[in-house]
Amino acid sequence: MASFAIGVDIGGTFTDVVAFIPSSGRQVSRKVLTSHENPAQAVIDGIKAVLEDDTLNAEDCDRLVHATTLFTNALIERKGAKTGLLATRGFRDTLEIGRERKYELYDLAISKPAPLVPRSLRYEVLERIGPDGSVRLPLDRDGLMVSAQELVTEGVEAVAVVFLNAYSNAAHECEAQELLEAAFPDLSLSISSDVAPEVREFERASTTVANAYIKPLAERYLDDLATGSAKLGISAPLHLMLSAGGLTHLDEAKRVPVEMLESGPAAGALVAAYFGRELATDDDTGDLLALDMGGTTAKLAMVEDGAPRTAYTFEAARQKRFAEGSGLPIRISTVELIEIGAGGGSIAHLDALGLLKVGPESAGSEPGPASYGLGGLDPTVTDADFALGYLDAAGFADGDVVIDEDAGSRALSALASAANLDSITLAAGIHDVVNESMASAARVHVAEQGRDLRDFTLLCTGGAGPVHAYGVAGKLGIKRILCPPSAGVASALGLLVAPARVDKVSTIGFRLIDGDIPELESVFKSLEADAVGVLSGTGLPVADAIHHRLADGRFVGQGFDLVVNLPPGPYDIEDENAVRELLTGSFEKAYRLRFNRTPPDVPIEFINARLSTRLFVPGGEKVIRPSHVAEGDGLVGAREAYFSDAGGFTKTAVHDRRLMALGTVVFGPVIIADSGSTLIIGPGARVEVRDSGNIVVDLPSRNGNV
């Protein structure tokens, strides 16, 4: 039989599994409820369900790719391992001191995020490396072992080693690692020079501690997953999605799991970029605002010039969602996006003033929305969408979830009675409130980047994204919606188009005016060699790797850095002046794009050298192209659905997307059902199935409500 690839994406409510057969373009997908006590079990159950298709044999699987939010949830919920910290003497409180900056200046009752390691488990070690990498004090090996033994006695499962200036010389951290591994083989270790080898002690310590905190969980989970898939007969290598939107291999993911914190959302942004490029072949639609709404959260990402933005730091577990400085700083490369507690399982409730609120609390998969019939009693967004006629109980999740509409109605009625509303008015309010939550987040995110929302097309994915895109687009003034094929499992599909990727960084303190160009070239060559070494573990042809050079630059005296793209190497060390002019031009161009002007006669310095190496999977560009054989318009019936534009419930045509021929044009109101998602479009909109397989919706002018 033909070979195939499997993509798996774990969400808070559903685990999506997709098998793709390149030779035929066929997809087989399943949604299973996420098993929170043992997340690997839902993955294995989903893969089993896919393999039950009579065209698939486990031994023909040549790729297994996985993304998960498990590790970031462990950080948010503080469910990681009991962790200790070994720091240079005098620096154990770096985690607590931080930047001494209040994220809300006038809040007298402000609450800073508590460190992942309590002070009682932070021990000091006598050693000292200077900022130039020189050894000022040798490592006190005996003191190190005494402190480590005390941590083990306290029941610590993981230890982070963060020595001062280790980014400039890792000798003491490596020596400590060697000693600890020999004495305590069961102890999970993370050293800062391995996890975050760059300047700035607080951020480096925070990142390393976060890695240590989730590492035992990651090791157990990934081992269980590899073992479980092998028992199913799958011998293909397991690849994991990184936060930066690329893949890595199993051993690397277990070594630095902190790089997977945003792996699930990254997959959604990556597939949005893929479909955006597909749409560009149809016409010029501008850039994309990608909305990925699942059962627990909604993610929003900007896709410009065919790629999502990349950030090189982010904050996990923020105390306040939009308040910079209220979370734990993590120094990794990640797709730049915003995530909010708005999903199909988001719970509706009344606040102290009797006002309707939705989320961020979610029913998740256990017990799930009331209409799942699994014991949930609180009304959720999904329950409201059933009541409004947007979802079909018989075909929900391809029938894998049995829907109890009466249970959903009872949950809505209870809250409606408390709010002195009828159930339908309440359901419409829930739908509208969650749409406004996502629209508000989009306004903030896009405004922070200095962009105009009207320049964007809204691309909707996830099980709930197509249901809510029409309402969100109206609130944002966006005139076009793009719904890709298999939108409900798009993140899982995005894993199959992702390249392998490695991001490396090295602190250099390099001044362009007089820095040694051969030394700079040597740093980049070293980073490239390290990256290729990591990629070799993926089993892909490393000779095809593509290296992108970047740098954290600033004008001397500035307190912030700007990450800029640099010209590709190698740099001509025989003509250093030409290289200096080239690098200066690259930085000044990027600086002007951000700030409009550069300061006069101020030298430029690069704080960090960065390398992003990508290795594209052979044949990956063929994934997700439609194998359409339909000839009709896919009309399969009609049902009553609620649209305020039409004055309430109106008879609405229902089309099966799988039966809609390319080129089909219909007009709203219309419901387009697909495997794993439902696209809801209101009156007056023009809906077209493009040759790329995308559905493009041109919206009329309206007041922003559904």
221 Cβ contact partners less than 8 Å away, ≥ 6 residues apart? 39, 40, 68, 70
> Using CA atoms, how far apart are residues 171 and 135, in angstroms rounded to an integer?
9
How is residue 619 written in tokens?
Answer: 């044949």
Average pLDDT in the 308-326 region?
79
pLDDT digits over 389-411, tens only?
A: 999 988 787 667 888 999 999 99
pLDDT value at 560 more than 90: no
pLDDT on residue 253: 93
Average pLDDT in the 311-337 region?
82
pLDDT value at 509 more than 60: yes
Question: Which residue matches tokens 């000091």?
Answer: 124
DSSP string, 339-352: EES-STTEEEEE-T
> Using CA atoms, how far apart are residues 238 and 538, in angstroms rounded to an integer?
9
Contact 647, 682 (CB under 8 A): no
Average pLDDT in the 220-231 region?
92
Q: What is the pTM of this model?
A: 0.86
Question: Which residue matches tokens 């006002």?
Answer: 355
Question: What residue spans define the domains of the chain?
Answer: 80-236+310-338, 500-615, 633-698
pLDDT on residue 624: 56
Percent of the chain predicted with pLDDT > 90 = 57
Where b means 16+ CB within 10 Å and e means fewer, 552-573 reads bbbbeeeeebbbbebeeeebee
Average pLDDT in the 586-611 region?
93
- Which helix (H) or strand (E) segment is 190 a member of? strand 188-191
Percent of the chain predicted with pLDDT > 70 = 95
Q: Band the pLDDT of 554: cuts 50, 70, 90.
A: very high
The angle, 0 to 180 degrees and rounded to 10, between the axes of the packed helices 517-535 and 576-595 is 70
Side-chain-side CA neighbours of 462 within 13 Å: the count stands at: 32
Beta bridge partners of 456: 287
Amino acid at 38: N
pLDDT on residue 360: 83
pLDDT value at 705 more than 80: no
Phi, psi angle pair for 595, to nearest 5°: -120, 0
**What one-character DSSP code corresponds to residue 467?**
H
CATH 3.30.1490 fits 500-615, yes or no: yes
- Where do the DSSP E strands lie in 52-196? 61-68, 83-88, 122-125, 128-129, 135-137, 158-162, 188-191
pLDDT value at 660 more than 90: yes
Q: Band the pLDDT of 259: cuts 50, 70, 90.
A: very high
Q: What is the mean pLDDT of the chain?
A: 89
